[in-house]
């Protein structure tokens, strides 16, 4: 028996299995809460649930990740899901990240050019950037 859930997603229903969908705010993703016929309970991401039960396969969470093709974690439509290895999933995530902002300067003590990532730190109205602690100490002294 099949049921169409929220957002038009096809959900396969099993006999004597209760399925509840809910939104998990900390992760920003839909989750599924299953009560199995033996009374045991199971939680899983809705994307994994949809993929496993639509294709009637069991995925290994250590070697198979369910990925959203359109990068929208709320779009759990079966046409939007694909299986990636953990390495492929990480490479895809890293490829879309923005490179860190770099700041290049010449050390006022030794004249050496240095490039450092800002890592979210704002450039303060700082007159001098030093290439090392020892150059900074030499300048102060």
- Can you list the domains of the chain with their CATH numbers? 2-96 (3.90.75.20), 102-140 (no CATH)
What distance in Å separates the CA atoms of residue 129 and residue 118, rounded to the nearest whole number?
A: 12
Q: Contact at 8 Å (CB) between 110 and 135?
A: yes
Q: What is the mean pLDDT of each run of 10 residues along the chain (141 residues)?
A: 48 64 85 86 89 84 93 91 94 80 82 76 61 78 57
Position 69 scores a pLDDT of 93
Position 1 scores a pLDDT of 41
Residue in 23, 55, 45 with CA at minimum distance from that of residue 34: 45
């Amino acid at each position: 028996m099949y049921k169409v859930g929220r957002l038009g997603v096809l959900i396969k229903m099993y006999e004597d299995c209760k399925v509840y969908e809910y939104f998990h705010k900390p992760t920003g993703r839909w989750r599924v809460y299953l009560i199995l016929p033996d009374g045991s309970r199971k939680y899983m991401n809705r994307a994994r649930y949809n993929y496993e039960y639509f294709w009637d396969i069991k995925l290994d969470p250590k070697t198979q990740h369910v990925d959203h093709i359109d990068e929208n974690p709320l779009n759990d439509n079966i046409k939007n899901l694909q299986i990636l290895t953990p390495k492929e999933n990480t490479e895809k995530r890293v490829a879309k990240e923005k490179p860190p902002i770099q700041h290049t300067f010449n050390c006022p003590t030794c004249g050496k050019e240095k490039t450092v990532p800002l890592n979210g730190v704002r450039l303060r109205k700082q007159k001098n950037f030093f290439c090392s602690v020892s150059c900074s100490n030499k300048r102060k002294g």
